[in-house]
A and B are shown apart, each in its own frame.
Chain A
Amino acid sequence: MQANAAMAATPTSAVAAAAVVIEGVDKHFGKVQALRSLSAHIHYGRLTGLVGPDGAGKTTLMRILTGLLVPNAGRVTLAGYDVVRDNDAIHVASGYMPQRFGLYEDLSVMENMRLYARLRGMDADRNADLFAELLDFTRLGPFTKRLAGKLSGGMKQKLGLACALMARPKVLLLDEPGVGVDPVSRQDLWRMVQALTDEGMAVVWSTAYLDEAERCESVLLLNQGQLLFDGPPQQLTAQLEGRSFRLENVGAERRAVLTEALDLESVSDGVIQGAGVRVVLRGGAQASQIQALADRAQVALAPVPARFEDAFIDLLGGGPGGTSQLAERLSPVELGSQIAVSCRNLTKRFGEFTATDQVSFEVRKGEIFGLLGPNGAGKSTTFKMLCGLLKPTAGEAHVVGHDLRRATGAAKSRLGYMAQKFSLYGLLSVQQNLEFSAGVYGLEGNTRRERIAEMIETFDLGEWLSATPDSLPLGHKQRLALACSLMHRPPVLFLDEPTSGVDPITRREFWTHINGLARKGVTIMVTTHFMDEAEYCDRVAMLSRARLIALDTPDALKRAAANVEHPDPTMEDAFIHLVESADREMEAAA
C-alpha cells in the first residue's frame, strides 16, 4: 500500500522531459568526498557517457541513480521519481547492469534470464516471444544451457544486458560494460545500445576509456567527484581544434623526439603513435617550437583532428614532462646477445583446453613488445610462461639466455614483473613494501639502502613512506609498484595490463618512464587492453584463440587493415580486422 501511495506521486511535467535530473548532489563516505555538488540532466533516446578515471565517482553516481545509495545532499529524479522517496518505483523504471554484470556464474544463461525476468514480474512461459527476441538480439540463442561462469567476457556482458533489459526499463544504466571485453565484443554492444536509444530509451554508459567517450552522444566528464564537462564530446574536442599535430614517420628516434617535445614549453601533451609522435599544444601557444623540432629531426609536421582524450588532458592542465628521472639514473643495459626474450613453439594445455598453441617470436634488446588479443586468447598464459610463473607443456622459452624450463630461478632474477592491479602489500607501509621487494631480490647492506633511497627520490615517495599503498593516490601507487619491480635493475621488464583503470595523466607519466627505460636498453614486455597503448610498442604480437595471428609494427598492422571503408584505420580497427579474418580462416579450414 505504501508503495502505491508513492506511485501516486506521478512525474511532474517540469522534469518529465529529462530521463534523469541530478541537482546539487553531494556524497561522501567517511572523510572521502566521492561526489561534489553535481548537477546534470540525462535525456531519453540518447546514449550518455559517464566518463572518468577510476575513483572519479562514476560507480557512486550510478548507484545513486538506481537508488542503491542515498546522496548526502541534493536531489535526483529518474523517470520523474525521486530516487530516495520513490525507491520502489526506481527499481521498476530502471534497468541496471553493475560491474562484473551481476550474473550468477553457477546458473545457466536461461536460468539467469528467467530469474531476472521473474524478479521483474515477467514469466518466460508467458513472454516466450520476448525471450526469443532478447536471445536473438544478444545472439545468445545457441548458448542457453551454458553456465554463465563458462561464458567469455563479451558473452557475459551481453547476458548481463539481457537481464537488465527485462521488463522494459525507461532508463538503462550500464556500469563499465566495456571492462574486460575485447574490441570485437564491444563493437557488438555499441550496436545493441544504438538500437535501444533509437527506441527512445535513455542509456547511461560509464567508462574509463576515453575512446568510448568519443562515441557517446553526450558525456558527463567526472574527475575526483567533480563534473568537468557536460555536453556532446565533439563540443569539447572542438575547443582543441588546431592544437593537435603529428610528427610523421619519426621512426627509431621517436622516443627521443617525444621526450624533447614534452619538455617544450608550448607542448601540453604528447604520445607515440606507431612510428609517429602526436603532440597537443597548450592553449594560445604557437606551433613554432614544435616546427623547429620537426625541422631538426627532418620529419614532416601535419595537423591532425583533436581527440576527446586531448581535451580531457587539457582540462586537467596538461600531461607530465618528457624526461624520466628514473631512466636518467640508470646506466645502459649490457647484454651478451641482442635477443632478450625468445620462445619457440611455446604451448600450454590445461587438460583438453589449449591456452597457447605453438607460439614463437623473438624480442630484441631495448624493444617495447606488446601482446594483444581478445579475452581468453591466451595472452596472459603466454605472458606467465615467459616470466616463469607457468610451466610450458611443450616448446621452449629463454629470458636473457636462461632457459625458463631449467633455470627458472636465474631467469627470474633477471626480470622485473609488475602484475595487474599492482599487487602491493596492503598491510605494509610504502617503506616496508620497498624494503620487502629489495629483500626478495636479494639486495643487501649498502646497495639495498642506496637503491631504496634512490627509488624514493626518483618517484617522489618521500612524504608517503609511512602510508599504506591503498591510501596513496593512484599515480603514486603505480610509481611504487614500478619502483618495486625495478629494485634489482632487471634488463627485462614484464608489465601485465599496467594501466587499466588509471587516469590518462598517470598513464602518460608511466609511459614516460617506460620510454626512458627502453632508451637505456631495458626490454619491455607488455600486455594491454588500451589500443592507443599498443601504439607505444615497437612491435605487437596479436593472439587469437591461442595462436599468434600477426606480429608486426603497429603501423604495418594498421596498414594491413586499411580498406575503402577505413582508409586510415585505428589500432582498434586493425585489431578487429585481424581477429575477424583469423576467425574466418579457422572456419574455412574446419
Chain B
Amino acid sequence: MNAVAQRKEGAALEPGDLRRFDLRRLMALVTKESYQALRDPSTLLIAFVLPVVLLLLFAYAVSLDAKEVRVGVVLESPGASAQSLAAAFSGTRFLKTQFAHDRREVADQLVSGALRGYVVIPQDFEQRLAQRGAEPLVQIVTDGSYPNTANYVENYARGVVQTWRAGLDVAAPAQSVVLEPRYWFNPELESRRALIPGAIAIVMTIIGTMLTALVVAREWERGTMEAVLSTPASVAEILIGKLLPYFVLGMLSTLGAAALAVFVFGVPMRGSLAALLLLSAVFMVPALGQGLLISSLARNQFLAAQIALFTGFLPAFMLSGFLYEIDAMPAPIRAITRAVPARYFVDSLKTVFLAGDIWAVFLPNLAAMAAIGALFFAIAKRATRKNLE
C-alpha cells in the first residue's frame, strides 16, 4: 500500500493554506445535505405532502363560518302573526329550522346536541303585539357550551325578529340611518380565504424550524457531526451548509402552496409574486435561526422535535393571528405575540393575497422578522462551538 507515500508528493492541503471559510468545502456540505434531503422520504413528505394536507384541512375541514345552524322554533301561539314570524325564520339560508309546538320537545334536543338553540313564540304573542307600544316577547335559548355559535344564533334570531317587525309595522317611523355593511378583501366572509394564506406560514415554520432542528440533531445522534467537526470545516461552513438546502426547500414549498391556494382553492392573489417571495425569504431567517438554536441545545431528535413543537409550531398556530385574532386576545398574550415571527408573516401573507402590495404593512413586518431572525442567529452562533463541550 503506497497511498500514503503518494499523497506526500501530491498537492495535498498544507496547514499553511488553512482558511476560515472555503467555498469548496461549503459546496461539499450543501451537496451532501441535498442528497440526504432528497433521499429521505420524510423530508419530502414534510416539504411537499404536508402543505397539501394542511391546505386541504383548512380549506374544507376547518370553517369558522356558521352556516345552516340547527335551530328549533316553538310555535305556542296559533295566531297569524306568529305564523308569519315562524315563516321568516324558515326563510333564511343561515339557519336550519325545525318546528315544534311544545318547548319540551326541543329542550331535550338542545341537551343532546341535536339543536344549537331554539326560539319560543309564546302563547300571548298576539295579545302583546296587539297592545300598542308593548314589544312582542320572543324567547331565545342557546347552547352556551359553543359560545361562538350561541352568539351567532342570538344575533341572527334577533335580526330575524327585527326585520319581520319592520316589515309588519309599516306605520312605524322609518329609520333615519340605514347601515349597509360591506366587507372588504373577503366580501363573502369566507374563513377559507383568510386561513389558507396563514397555513403557508405554518408550513414554513415546520420546514424552517422543525426540519432544521431535526436534521442537525440527527447528525449528533448518528455520530456524523463528530466526524465532520474533526475535519478542517469551520462552524460557519457547517451551519450554512445545513441551512442553505432547507432555505431552498422552504421556498419551493411556499411556491407550491401558493399555487395550490390560488389555482385550486380560489384564493385571490392581489399582490405580486415578487412580494410573496421576498416575504417568505425574510421569514425563513427567523424560522431557520430558531431551528438552529434548538439544535444547539438539543442533541437528540426526540428532544429537538419536542422543543420545536412547543416553541415553533404551537406559537405559529395559536399566537400568529392565523386561527385566532390577535386583537381579541388579552393584553399580556398580545404582548407575547410580538415575539412570534409567524405573526408578522401571517399578517403579510393575508395582505399579499387578499389586499395587494401594501408596503406600509410589509416594511415593518419585514423589519420585525429580520430583527428576530438576527437575534436567533446571534444566540445560536454563541451557543455553537467547534467542539463537543
Binding site for B on A (CB under 8 A): 2-4, 7, 63, 66-70, 87-89, 91-94, 96-107, 111, 114-116, 118-123, 126-127, 129-130, 133-134, 137, 160, 163, 165, 167-168, 192, 195-196, 199-201
Verify B227–A89 contact, CB threshold 8 A.
no
- Asked whether B387 is an interface residue with its Cβ less than 8 Å from the other chain, the reply is yes
Find chain B residues with CB under 8 A from A102 CB: 223-224, 226-228, 230
Find chain B residues with CB under 8 A from A7 CB: 15-16, 18
Find chain B residues with CB under 8 A from A100 CB: 222-223
Verify A107–B32 contact, CB threshold 8 A.
yes
CA distance A100 to B31 in the complex (A): 22
Given A2-B20, A88-B232, also A121-B27 (CB < 8 A):
no
Verify A68–B387 contact, CB threshold 8 A.
yes
- Asked whether B388 is an interface residue with its Cβ less than 8 Å from the other chain, the reply is yes
CA distance A118 to B12 in the complex (A): 11
Verify B223–A114 contact, CB threshold 8 A.
no
Find chain A residues with CB under 8 A from B20 CB: 2-3
Find chain A residues with CB under 8 A from B388 CB: 63, 68-69
Given A67-B387, A87-B386, A121-B13, also A168-B4 (CB < 8 A):
yes
What would be 30 A-B contacts, judged by CB atoms less than 8 Å apart? A3-B18, A7-B18, A66-B230, A67-B387, A68-B388, A69-B389, A88-B18, A91-B232, A98-B227, A102-B228, A102-B230, A105-B222, A111-B35, A115-B31, A119-B28, A119-B228, A121-B12, A121-B22, A121-B232, A122-B13, A126-B11, A127-B10, A130-B10, A133-B3, A167-B7, A168-B4, A168-B8, A192-B1, A200-B4, A201-B4
Which 9 A-B pairs rank lowest in CB-CB distance, beginning with the nearest?
A: A102-B227, A118-B28, A121-B13, A195-B1, A96-B230, A168-B7, A199-B4, A119-B231, A133-B3
Verify A120–B13 contact, CB threshold 8 A.
yes
- Asked whether B19 is an interface residue with its Cβ less than 8 Å from the other chain, the reply is yes
- Asked whether B56 is an interface residue with its Cβ less than 8 Å from the other chain, the reply is no
Within 8 A of A (CB), among B37-89: 39-40
- Asked whether B25 is an interface residue with its Cβ less than 8 Å from the other chain, the reply is yes
Verify B230–A98 contact, CB threshold 8 A.
yes
Find chain A residues with CB under 8 A from B24 CB: 118, 121, 123
Given A3-B20, A4-B18, A130-B3, also A68-B226 (CB < 8 A):
yes
- Asked whether B326 is an interface residue with its Cβ less than 8 Å from the other chain, the reply is no
Find chain A residues with CB under 8 A from B160 CB: none
Query: Which residue on chain B has the smallest CB distance to residue A83?
Result: B387
Verify A98–B16 contact, CB threshold 8 A.
no
Verify A116–B231 contact, CB threshold 8 A.
yes
CB distance from A155 to the nearest CB of B (A): 17
- Asked whether B95 is an interface residue with its Cβ less than 8 Å from the other chain, the reply is no
Verify B230–A68 contact, CB threshold 8 A.
yes
Find chain A residues with CB under 8 A from B224 CB: 102-104
- Asked whether B5 is an interface residue with its Cβ less than 8 Å from the other chain, the reply is yes
Range, interface on chain B? 35 or more
Find chain A residues with CB under 8 A from B228 CB: 102, 119
Query: Which residue on chain B has the smallest CB distance to residue A6?
Result: B18
CA distance A105 to B15 in the complex (A): 30
Query: Which residue on chain A has the smallest CB distance to residue B38?
Result: A106
CB distance from A274 to the nearest CB of B (A): 37
Find chain B residues with CB under 8 A from A127 CB: 10
Verify A119–B389 contact, CB threshold 8 A.
no
CA distance A403 to B75 in the complex (A): 74
- Asked whether B100 is an interface residue with its Cβ less than 8 Å from the other chain, the reply is no
Verify A68–B18 contact, CB threshold 8 A.
no
Verify B387–A69 contact, CB threshold 8 A.
yes
Verify A92–B1 contact, CB threshold 8 A.
no
CB distance from A514 to the nearest CB of B (A): 32
Residue from A67, A97, A196, A200 within 8 A of B227 (CB atoms): A97
Verify B28–A114 contact, CB threshold 8 A.
yes
- Asked whether B6 is an interface residue with its Cβ less than 8 Å from the other chain, the reply is yes
Verify A104–B36 contact, CB threshold 8 A.
yes
CA distance A4 to B20 in the complex (A): 10
CA distance A130 to B28 in the complex (A): 18
Find chain A residues with CB under 8 A from B13 CB: 92, 120-122, 167
Please report the number of residue pairs spanning A and B whose Cβ atoms sit closer than 8 angstroms: 140
Extra pairs beyond A4-B18, A114-B28, A119-B29 (8, CB < 8 Å): A70-B387, A70-B389, A118-B28, A119-B28, A130-B3, A133-B1, A168-B8, A168-B12
Find chain B residues with CB under 8 A from A2 CB: 20
CA distance A126 to B16 in the complex (A): 20
CB distance from A203 to the nearest CB of B (A): 11
CB distance from A447 to the nearest CB of B (A): 38
Find chain A residues with CB under 8 A from B1 CB: 133, 137, 192, 195-196, 199
Query: Which residue on chain B has the smallest CB distance to residue A93?
Result: B15
Given A115-B31, A137-B3, also A3-B19 (CB < 8 A):
yes
CB distance from A173 to the nearest CB of B (A): 8
Query: Which residue on chain A has the smallest CB distance to residue B386?
Result: A87
Find chain B residues with CB under 8 A from A133 CB: 1-3, 6
Verify B3–A92 contact, CB threshold 8 A.
no
Query: Which residue on chain A has the smallest CB distance to residue B221?
Result: A100
Query: Which residue on chain A has the smallest CB distance to residue B234?
Result: A88
CA distance A324 to B35 in the complex (A): 55
CB distance from A426 to the nearest CB of B (A): 14
- Asked whether B229 is an interface residue with its Cβ less than 8 Å from the other chain, the reply is yes
Find chain A residues with CB under 8 A from B25 CB: 118-119, 121
Verify B35–A107 contact, CB threshold 8 A.
yes
- Asked whether B281 is an interface residue with its Cβ less than 8 Å from the other chain, the reply is no
Residue with the highest number of chain A CB atoms closer than 10 Å, among B2, B19, B223, B387:
B387
CA distance A171 to B248 in the complex (A): 39
CA distance A102 to B223 in the complex (A): 5
Within 8 A of A (CB), among B275-329: none
CA distance A297 to B20 in the complex (A): 72
Verify A167–B12 contact, CB threshold 8 A.
yes
Find chain A residues with CB under 8 A from B6 CB: 129-130, 133
Verify B223–A130 contact, CB threshold 8 A.
no
CA distance A107 to B33 in the complex (A): 10
CB distance from B11 to the nearest CB of A (A): 8
CA distance A67 to B388 in the complex (A): 9
Find chain B residues with CB under 8 A from A93 CB: 15
Residue with the highest number of chain A CB atoms closer than 10 Å, among B3, B19, B226, B228:
B3
- Asked whether B150 is an interface residue with its Cβ less than 8 Å from the other chain, the reply is no
Query: Which residue on chain A has the smallest CB distance to residue B228?
Result: A119
Given A69-B388, A137-B1, also A163-B18 (CB < 8 A):
no
CA distance A264 to B20 in the complex (A): 64
- Asked whether B244 is an interface residue with its Cβ less than 8 Å from the other chain, the reply is no
CA distance A137 to B7 in the complex (A): 14
Find chain B residues with CB under 8 A from A99 CB: 223
Find chain B residues with CB under 8 A from A195 CB: 1
Verify B32–A120 contact, CB threshold 8 A.
no
Verify A106–B16 contact, CB threshold 8 A.
no
